[in-house]
Amino acid sequence: MTKRSSRHLFQAAALLVLAASLSSCKTARHRHMYGHEFDPPVTRPSNPGAVKIKVSTGAQRLYAVEGSKVLLATPCSVGTHGSTGAGTFRIQHREARRRRQSEPDRGYPMAYWQEWKSAYGMHWGFVKPYPCTHGCIRLPAKSALKLFSLTQVGTPLIIASSHPEDSTIGKTLPVIDDGPLPNPDPNYMRSDKFFKDLEAGTLFKK
């Protein structure tokens, strides 16, 4: 083998190592996480009455904003087949310890419930990287808690297929997929301990 051929092989090998390293970094940056692991930063509003909630059904992102300032950004899950809908609404009812009232799964927790029209609400739930609800907007545990602290009855909710924030802060959010989690114990989900763990930030932690 000539010195020139040897040099070319060395360069090719170096490029392969670099490519593998970059690929590994990219994978690490965009790895999926479970909803209870996600803890978004939150900024308190200077005027609570000026807070608005924006939901992007296309990107599955939720943003709490005050003017042009993003106070909270989080992945969410929306409804299949466009069932979450679109439009401008206002939060009508809020309930931190709400439970499902109908069958199936009566008594299942829908914590930090924020209803914008009858039977449709933002609440804690298992989040997946694709539409998977019957119309509600599911949020990771800490996102639901922090969002609940920013809103009040009457807070505007703007649901659209996209929002400008999708191309900025929305792109920095992790992929959340609770799909691989085992089904939780139904007795635990219907117990007061579930809400206590949720409020303490220890949900699903052993």
Domain ranges of the chain: 3-30, 35-200
Is pLDDT at 73 greater than 70 in this prediction? Answer: yes
Average pLDDT of the chain? Answer: 88
In DSSP terms, 87 is beta-bridged to: 159
Predicted TM-score of the model (pTM): 0.84
By percentage, how much of the chain surpasses pLDDT 90?
77
Average pLDDT over residues 52-67: 98
For the stretch 3-42, pLDDT in tens is 454 454 445 444 443 344 444 343 334 567 999 999 999 9
Buried b (16+ CB within 10 A) or exposed e, 123-140: bbbbbbeebbbebbbbbb
Confidence band of 96 (pLDDT split at 50, 70, 90):
very high
Q: Among 2.60.120.620, 3.10.20.30, 2.40.440.10, 3.40.640.10, what is the CATH number of 35-200?
A: 2.40.440.10
Q: CA distances (Å), 93 to each of 2, 87, 159, 173, in order?
A: 78, 18, 17, 28
Is pLDDT at 1 greater than 60 in this prediction? Answer: no
Is pLDDT at 90 greater than 50 in this prediction? Answer: yes
For the stretch 153-164, pLDDT in tens is 999 999 999 999
Tokens of 157: 């909710």
Q: What is the pLDDT of residue 105?
A: 85
